[in-house]
Amino acid sequence: MERVAEFVEAEVSAGRVPGAVVGVVHRGQVVFLKAFGHRDKARGVPMTRDALFWIASMSKPITAAGALLLVERGQLVLDEPIGAYLPQFAGRPVQPSVLDLLRHTAGMPEGLLGDSPVHKLYADAVGNGMTDLTGAEFVDRLSALPLLHEPGAMWHYGWGLDLTGLIIESIVGASLGDFLRDEVCTPLGMSDTTFGVPAGQEDRFARPLPQHVLPDLSIARFHSGGAGLVSTAADYLRFVQMLLDKGKPLLGRKTVKYMLSDQLAPGTDTSRLEKPGWNPGHGFGVGLAVRRRIGGFPAPGSVGEVTWPGAGGTTWWADPSEDLGVVVMAHTTAKIEPQLRAIVLASL
């Protein structure tokens, strides 16, 4: 594991990464957790292991776990049309299911990822999702738009986990942040995982290099289950360990096995998931990508490993067959995951 430190230190010295925290769990133990570089390079503040990072789409698996808790309690049914929980969709003749939201097959795309007329409608309605819309306004706008494709026909990154978060709120009668804090984060000991940077904790937030602009999380008026969480490496390692421990102490083992299983039906168009820079060789489970094959992906690994990175530079993966989990917290545009993956796997 010394090679992990050597590699990250070299990336910091070269100016590609301002700072990072890397953690590894193996066979139930944290075998590596180290901070590198600067939390705020401009001010000369060194990185610390408790630094806060915007985890962006790494929020999705946490929101998905919250939804599965409600499934276990009989309060949420995954094959129900979403109009059963969000009344704005109730009158539509074709509706995606809750499962479509969780596996990105709902037909409600991230509009900036395409140039069709439907993509433009979504881009005009909600932009990149970092808006000052309320949750109700967000649902109102999406419910008025046509679907890009029939539910289940295509994998296309979209607004499914944001809508899932709003469905959770409609069921529990509380904010998504309060629900995840009480029902997911507290049982797992994830005390530093919140929507946005908590008041008084701004100094702990890791600053990117000047050319890397992060979104202003303070403008959010609803809790984005798809991209709104801030967390630490140690907290996310606890979430990864829960997945590797077959759900203990949060979810039933059959629930987690379902979550980590490929949910895309045969014949689903996965061309967008297979694109370079996305996840070639993967299907999609509940809120995360699931590796289908070893070949065809530009790094080693195992069939059945799961992942879903964040747009700000953070990433993670878990390999149940090796009882291995890796979390990389960095606000960077540098591509360091393939190298770290190769180094970690070589240590097994």
pLDDT tens for 292-315 read 999 988 899 999 999 999 999 999
Look at residue 317 and tell me if it is in a domain.
yes
Look at residue 113 and tell me if it is in a domain.
no
Look at residue 284 and tell me if it is in a domain.
yes
- Identify whether 249 is preceded by a cis peptide bond (ω within 30 of 0): yes
Q: Which two three-digit tokens encode residue 90?
A: 């109730």
pLDDT at 133: 95
Q: Which of 18, 3, 56, 14 is nearest to 211 (CA)?
A: 18
Average per-residue pLDDT for the chain:
97
- CATH number for the domain spanning 238: value is 3.40.710.10
Look at residue 108 and tell me if it is in a domain.
no
Look at residue 326 and tell me if it is in a domain.
yes
What global pTM score does this model have?
0.98
Look at residue 250 and tell me if it is in a domain.
yes
Number of domains in the chain: 1
CA separation for the pair 237, 55 (Å, rounded): 13
CA separation for the pair 138, 50 (Å, rounded): 33
pLDDT tens for 80-136 read 999 999 999 998 999 999 999 999 999 999 999 999 999 999 999 999 998 899 999
Q: Which two three-digit tokens encode residue 1?
A: 């594991």
User: Residue with structure tokens 């046509």?
Assistant: 146
Packing angle between helix 59-72 and helix 160-172, nearest 10 degrees? 40
Please give the helix or strand (H or E) that residue 186 lies within, else none: helix 186-188
Look at residue 279 and tell me if it is in a domain.
yes
**Contact (Cβ atoms closer than 8 angstroms) between residue 298 and residue 314:** no
The whole domain housing 258 covers 2-60+230-346
Look at residue 331 and tell me if it is in a domain.
yes
Q: What is the 3-state secondary structure (H, E, C) of 91-116?
A: CCCCCCEHHHHHHCCCCCECHHHCCC
pLDDT at 130: 87
pLDDT tens for 198-256 read 999 999 999 999 999 999 999 999 999 999 999 999 999 999 999 999 999 999 999 99
